Structure formats: C-alpha cells, structure tokens
Amino acid sequence: MIHYNLACDKGHAFEGWFSSSDDFDRQVARRLVTCPSCGSVSVSKQLMAPAVSTARKKEARRELVMDQAQKETVAKLKELVKSIRENAEDVGERFPDEARKIHYGEADQRGLIGKATAEEAIALIEEGIEIAPLPVLPDDTN
C-alpha cells in the first residue's frame, strides 16, 4: 500500500492509501477520490518526504511493540533455534526424502533441518512423520 498526502482545489489537506500509483491515477480519473471536507473531486498528490527505514527506526518500532516478557521469550526462542541448528544436519532440499528414510528405518536416527514445500510438509505429516517449522525471528538471518 502507498500512503499519499492529498489536497483538493479548495486547499483542504487529507491523506489516502492506494495499492499503487496507477491505482491512485485510475481512481482520480474515475472521480472516485473526493475531499472529505468539501467533496471536491479535483484532488492531487502533495509533495512528501520519502519514508526511509533505518535500523534505528526498526529497533525503535520493535521497542514499542515488545515488552520485557516478550523480549525474554524471543531470546529463549532464538537460543532454542540456534541449538537445533547446531545439533541437526542441514540436508537442504533433500529434507522430505531424508525424513522418510529415517522414519522408515532406512537411515540412522538423527536430527534434520532442511527445506520442504507446503505440499511436501503436508505429505510428511499425513505419513505420520513428525516435523515442525523453525521460526524466523527478529534479526534471525538463518
């Protein structure tokens, strides 16, 4: 979604959200965008500063969203994911095949991580093979 500061020909300022710049243009051409103050359909975009996201801004937003208990929970989850990654074999795209081999006794029991499509994951679960996704957490680059 794109946020625009808008103004009508009478000088009233307001804002609007559009799925794209083209969406805004189409709605204005069809006279669907109107000033909430006076109803004018003569509406234009106003000059706006770009919204630049910085690491500091992201951290500030995260601070607003997460309280201390949530931060502690995320830290514990990060430790758990790190431990799983350190103690499992990453088999990448071979995950469904390797999980089946272990389940059916064709390979030694061991911890695995890897990738599977949604369809492959559903098939594994339907076969009775226990799997679980690893969460991707804030600042988790793995």
Choose between 88 and 47: higher pLDDT. 88
In a 13 Å sphere around the CA of 99, the CA atoms on its Cβ side amount to 23
pLDDT tens sequence across 129-141: 999 988 877 775 4
Which pLDDT belongs to residue 26? 93
pTM: 0.49
Taking the C-alpha atoms of residue 23 and residue 4, their distance in angstroms, rounded to an integer, is 12
- CB 103 within 8 Å of CB 128: yes
pLDDT tens sequence across 29-45: 999 999 999 999 999 99
The partner residues of 19 in beta bridges, in order of sequence, read none
Taking the C-alpha atoms of residue 9 and residue 126, their distance in angstroms, rounded to an integer, is 62
Which pLDDT belongs to residue 68? 78
Which pLDDT belongs to residue 2? 86
Taking the C-alpha atoms of residue 122 and residue 116, their distance in angstroms, rounded to an integer, is 9
pLDDT tens sequence across 50-64: 666 666 666 666 666
For residue 113, give the nearest of 139, 140, 131, 125 by alpha carbon: 131
- CB 120 within 8 Å of CB 96: yes
The answer, yes or no, to whether residue 4 has pLDDT greater than 70, is yes
Residue-by-residue DSSP string for 60-129: HHHHHH--HHHHHHHHHHHHHHHHHHHTSEE-GGGHHHHHHHHHTTSS----EE----HHHHHHHHHTT-
Residue ranges of domains in the chain: 2-45, 53-79, 88-133
